[in-house]
Amino acid sequence: MTDQIAAFIDGLPKAELHLHLEGTLEPELKFELAARNGIALPYASAAQLRAGYAFRDLTSFLAAYYEGMSVNQNLAAAQQAAPLTVAELAQLARNSFQIAWLTPADRAPYLAALDTYLR
C-alpha cells in the first residue's frame, strides 16, 4: 500500500459497530489499573505488553482480553470506567471514527459513573 492510499484510508470517516471496552485497554492504562487493583501482570513494561498484542489466533487474543478484564475488577466505578472510555474515544477520534457503539458489561451503573466523571 502506498503512503498516499494509506493517508486516504486514514482520513475516511469510520464507524465502530460493536466494541467491548474491556478489549480496548492500551498497555499503559492496563498497567495503571492493575496497580490500582493490586494485580501483577506477567510483563516487565508496557512495551513488552504491547509486543504481546501481536495476536496469532483467537486464543491469544482472548488471553489478552481476559487479562484486561481482570484489571477492571469494578468497571462500573467512575475511577475505573471513565479513563478507559475517554482513552478509547480519543483513539477512535484520532482514527476518524464518527460513530461508535460501546458496550460495557453492565450499562446502567457504567453510564452513571461516566456521567459523574465527566461533570
- Local mean pLDDT, 10-residue blocks, the chain (119 residues): 88 76 79 83 89 88 82 59 74 76 56 57
Work out the number of other CB atoms within 10 angstroms of the CB of residue 105: 13
**What is residue 117's predicted lDDT score, i.e. its pLDDT?**
53
Q: Give the total number of structural domains in the chain.
A: 1
Residue 3, in any domain of the structure: no
40, part of any domain: yes
Q: Is 66 helix (H, G, I), strand (E, B) or coil?
A: helix
Q: Is residue 8 part of a domain?
A: no
Residue 33 lies in a domain: yes
Identify the domain containing residue 50 by its residue range. 14-118
Tell me, yes or no, whether 9 lies in a domain: no
Q: What is the pLDDT of residues 31-49, one digit of tens each?
A: 888 887 788 888 889 899 8
72 φ/ψ angles, rounded to the nearest 5 degrees: -100, 65
Alpha-carbon distance of 15 to 111, in angstroms, equals 21
Asked if the structure places residue 89 within a domain, the reply is: yes
Q: Would residue 82 count as lying in a domain? A: yes
What pLDDT does 93 receive?
Answer: 79
Is residue 21 in some structural domain?
yes
